[in-house]
Structure 1
Amino acid sequence: MIRNVVGSVLALAGATAAVWSPFRAWYDGRHGRTYRIDDLFTGITDARAEVIGSILLPFAFAALLTLVGVVIRSRWPVALAGLVVLGFTVLWMVRVGQVEDGIGVGSDGRGLGTGVALALGGGVLLLLGALVMSGRPKPHATRVDGPATRPSGGPRTRPTDGPATRPSDGPPDSPPPEDRT
């Protein structure tokens, strides 16, 4: 229970950071929401994207996956969301590195910005949240009348106090008939 709560908080914080990151500067003061998704696969250009066609879209999808994972208490959607965020961020870094002949961080505000740090941190928090979550509880078999024993490789049987006596016409687990004499 505690692990699910802590994992969910980590995952939700990671999703929040990932969705917030495109609204921050990513490189040389350019916000992440201005990079087109197509640019990640064809090469970074100066063309500006609409918000819905920007890098925000896969991060919003990752946030939706995170919410689904938290609600159904499943680790897999949260882990997939972390991989989506990290994958798109790393792909963006590779593409910018190709255009700029390398990427760096400058003290004058040039280079990588806080948006990239938020995206990477959000992806890591999503993966940590998935690792911490215990997931759904597994159903356990309940025993009503004592433990079952299994003689060396045979089928499970219940211990008995002697031969079972039951009427031949009654159900197998019915109590013995009353003596009315």
Structure 2
Amino acid sequence: MFRNVLGSLMGLAGAAAAVWSPFRAWYDGRHGRDYGVQELFTSAGITGHTPTLLASILLPYLFAAVLTLCAVLLRSRLLMALAGVVVLGFTILWTVRQGQAAGSLTVGGDGHGLGDGLANAFGAGALILLGSLVMSGHPTRPTRPLPPPTPA
């Protein structure tokens, strides 16, 4: 039971960090909510267009947060791991697409380069995955042994 509580808390904290990350700077001071989900899958790639909030990168993170909440309620390690993979997958995909658009990625403490929102997203995905590993999952019911065969 302790493992389920600890894993659930880790997963919920990771889900909260994932949903919060698009409201922080991701690259060159531009927030994650300023990147559209469709930009990750089109040939145009990352553009300067600002989408609506629910069409932004926030959408897959909200989906992962709902998956995490369902995983906690159902005590499902698989659902929680899937939520962590969604967060990490979209974060990695964004990183690849941003690297293609910019030509290279830089890390800088002066507001230029990769920002703390991206670090939050990576940390959130890792925390959700770690929470799924810590959880013991839903208990299985013990099976009763079959009775011995009766002689014919």
SS at structure 1 position matched to 2:26: strand
The total of aligned residue pairs comes to 147
- Structure 2 partner of 1:11: 11
Unaligned runs of 5+ in 2: none
Offset of residue 104 of structure 1: 1.3
Measured in 2, the distance between the counterparts of 1:102 and 1:90 equals 14
Offset of residue 26 of structure 1: 0.4
Measured in 1, the distance between the counterparts of 2:56 and 2:109 equals 27
Q: Deviations over 1:139-178 (max 9, x none)?
A: 0146xxxxx7xxxxxx744xxxxxxxxxxxxxxxxxxxxx
Could you state the TM-score of these two structures normalised by the residue count of structure 1?
0.78
Matches within 5 A, 1:29-178: 29-42=29-42, 43-141=45-143, 156-157=147-148
Offset of residue 106 of structure 1: 1.1
Measured in 1, the distance between the counterparts of 2:147 and 2:79 equals 38
Offset of residue 138 of structure 1: 0.7
Which structure has greater helix proportion? 2
Measured in 1, the distance between the counterparts of 2:143 and 2:89 equals 41
CA RMSD of aligned residues (A): 1.4
Could you state the TM-score of these two structures normalised by the residue count of structure 2?
0.93
Unaligned runs of 5+ in 1: 143-147, 149-154, 158-181
SS at structure 1 position matched to 2:8: helix
Higher relative contact order, chain-length normalized (CA < 8 Å, sep 6+): 2
Q: Percent identity?
A: 60
Measured in 2, the distance between the counterparts of 1:39 and 1:141 equals 51
Measured in 2, the distance between the counterparts of 1:70 and 1:114 equals 27
